[in-house]
Structure 1
Amino acid sequence: MGFQFPFSLSWKDYLPFDLSGTGADTTYAPETGGEVRDILRLKNGTAVTLRAAHAGDAERIQQLVRGLSLESRYHRFFYPLQEVPPDMLARFTLSDPTGAMTLLAVIQRDGQEIAIGMAQYVADPYPVSGEFAVLVADEWHRSGLGTRLIQTLICVARAAGIMRLQGDVLAENEPMVRLMVSMGFELDTHADGAYLWKASKMLEAPEWNCSPLTILARQAKAGAAQRGRAGVA
């Protein structure tokens, strides 16, 4: 994608996937406590691992944000954030599909795992709605990663039982507006002014195959239902 994805969750509230395409591999071992991962190949052939974020990713996420251009920071956060504050960073490492969920896209470089993108949502209130945001490192624009992140985020949120996703879109970003329309999002005027659109989508069955990462969401949904029954009892 040749543009930055300008969804922006309120930085007061803060906040968190990708699809397995042809030739993609998936590793998954929930019964042993292993990490669920999805491995895909971008348009240029690069192998990218998609997984849920965890506390150990704090510095990776910080480096991802530090490496953004000024324009990309503005598009993601709606102000030129220089450093991710500790409390926001803590929220960015949460992975609860029925609450705050972060998906990281990472690659191997010089023997280290580097974050090149992330997609997030916060369910508030669960399961009615989730506020979402997507971020792709500048050098990975036009790679197709942003689209794949949005697609997987939809899959995970739906599997978790969330009914709708919504996010803010800069009106000046015509490519993003077109992408939202093409993916079935409705665009409504925003209460904050004409420079923003409110994009929203009811989460029906998607037209693409969903990533095995949705196992995380299904497990979380079952846990939420169980907690609800226990509360009633």
Structure 2
Amino acid sequence: MSDVTDAVVRLVEHGPTVPAMVLVSLAALIATAGFHTRWSRRHGQAPPADDTGARPPTAERPAGTGPTGSEPGGSEPGGSEPVGESALWRMRTTVRDAPGSLAVLCAALAEQRIDILSLQTHPLTEGTVDEFLLRAPDELSGAELADVVTTAGGARTWTERADAHDLVDAPTRVLGLAVRTALDAAELPLALRQLLGRCTIRSHPAPTEGGAAARAAEAVPPEGALEDTVLRLRAPEGGVISVERPHLPFTPAEFARARALVELDARLGPRVPRERDVLTLPEGSDITVRRADTRDVPAAKAMHERCSERTLGMRYHGPVGDADRYLNHLLSPRFGRTLAVQTASGRIVGLGHLLWDGDETEVALLVEDGWQRRGIGSELLARLVAMAADAGCESVYAITQASNTGMVAAMRGLGLPLDYQIEEGTLVVTARLDPATRSAARLPQAERIGRE
């Protein structure tokens, strides 16, 4: 992974033109490699069901004994691929670091007509963690698969249903994540999640001197810290990125990959995609929608000054005088993505935020008073929800006041299933983004008339 970091950084440091062409070429190469990998597989796979089949790590058991301590049961001689319907599984198990240990495990899988599609090894101080992508008979459950592995000498075995995306080989996947991170600083949390699987990622802002957060940040060494199911890394802007995966301990190899990805982000500095969409609103005005970051804080503060106290109160749910203090956090790519709406004169008149909140995702809108009720809020919300869907989010939520009819109407206008929770005047509206409902959603509606 460090080699990938150095290569991508060297490309980007040559200037804005060369990286764009090369990174596009890399993306095409990745797509071609992924297509070739999937094309070469001889059995089609369905996406995993809602129950992913994930099973917690199993206890250790002496090799050569069945689940109840008996000799393992026989089956037809293996070596052939699964017959009939099959399913993809991701599996991780720990084996002894001794000659023949992996061979015994592979033979046991073959006896059950389980095909090994890929294998990665993670050396530990004692033993080795082997990570498999498997194709198994459809009737084999995760618990049964774990029993087969445990009988063959595997320990602390974890299984989870996989899908066709897992067929992309590890180097191609890592290179793709590096390219995404190089193009957009907001991709780092998403890239870490794809790199490390199901986990909770939190970005803690740079601490104030002498506070508890400062002491916590100082406790993380420059090279980061790995503690079983939690890893912590120094964020480029001075905060801390923490990743938790309670169901599966991190390996030193995973820690090194995550650290290299954060190092890549730090070396490239602030960056957001430069594309700008010029749109015509239903009432005829032209606006530009683009990504924003902390370099837009002065323009965002100027918009605050033009907003009424009621508008700011609806957005921030607190003292209006504190509104400016939130902007550095809201506009930081570390905590999500921000869209800005600007007029032909370049003045920002609207902001939309997509904020990563652990395992959940928040959307928030602010539109200057004079530009409200022109469709800007709905346009921003639709684009933010489309971003969330592309990032694999299962839902988004908005926190507002029950009297904020504009925000409620914008959420309803998405055409997605909504859940409402009201507590002491605060309204939380959650939109579900499962594939079945996303296809029916009414996403960006303003007419695009150009892209800069």
Matched letter for residue 329 of structure 2: R
1:14-163 → structure 2 map (5 Å cutoff): 31=20, 35-82=274-321, 84-86=323-325, 88-95=326-333, 99-109=335-345, 113-125=346-358, 128-163=359-394
Measure how far apart 1:129 and its partner are.
Answer: 1.6
| Residues 340, 350 of structure 2: 8 Å contact kept | yes
Q: Per residue, is there more helix in 1 or in 2?
A: 2
Find the residue that maps to 1:108 and give its secondary structure: coil
Corresponding position of 1:198? 428
Gaps of 5+ in 2: 1-17, 22-182, 184-272, 446-452
**Which has the larger displacement, 137-146 or 74-83?**
74-83
Distance 2:405 2:323 in 1: 28
Distance 1:79 1:181 in 2: 25
Find the residue that maps to 2:363 and give its secondary structure: strand
* Counterpart pick for 2:419 among 172, 176, 187: 187
1:179-199 Cα deviation digits (max 9, x unpaired) = 433433523233x42x12210
Corresponding position of 2:249? none
1:85-122 Cα deviation digits (max 9, x unpaired) = 45x222232235xx42111111132xxx2111011021
Distance 1:38 1:173 in 2: 28
Distance 1:117 1:30 in 2: 31
Larger relative contact order (C-alpha < 8 A, sep ≥ 6)?
1
Change (3 A) 1:182 1:30: farther
Find the residue that maps to 1:44 and give its secondary structure: coil
| Residues 163, 202 of structure 1: 8 Å contact kept | yes
Corresponding position of 1:8? none
State the TM-score, normalized to the length of structure 1.
Answer: 0.65
Find the residue that maps to 2:338 and give its secondary structure: strand
Moved over 6 A (4+): none
Matched letter for residue 105 of structure 1: V
Find the residue that maps to 1:142 and give its secondary structure: coil
Matched letter for residue 89 of structure 1: L
Change (3 A) 1:210 1:145: closer
Measure how far apart 1:210 and its partner are.
Answer: 5.7
Measure how far apart 1:159 and its partner are.
Answer: 0.9
Change (3 A) 1:144 1:178: closer
| Residues 402, 426 of structure 2: 8 Å contact kept | yes
1:36-60 Cα deviation digits (max 9, x unpaired) = 2221111232221111112321101
State the TM-score, normalized to the length of structure 2.
Answer: 0.35
Change (3 A) 1:172 1:54: closer
| Residues 91, 100 of structure 1: 8 Å contact kept | no
Matched letter for residue 148 of structure 1: E
Find the residue that maps to 1:132 and give its secondary structure: strand
Distance 1:51 1:36 in 2: 7
| Residues 397, 430 of structure 2: 8 Å contact kept | yes
**Which has the larger displacement, 133-142 or 176-185?**
176-185
Change (3 A) 1:185 1:67: farther
| Residues 167, 200 of structure 1: 8 Å contact kept | yes
1:193-232 → structure 2 map (5 Å cutoff): 193=424, 195-204=425-434, 205-206=438-439, 207-208=441-442
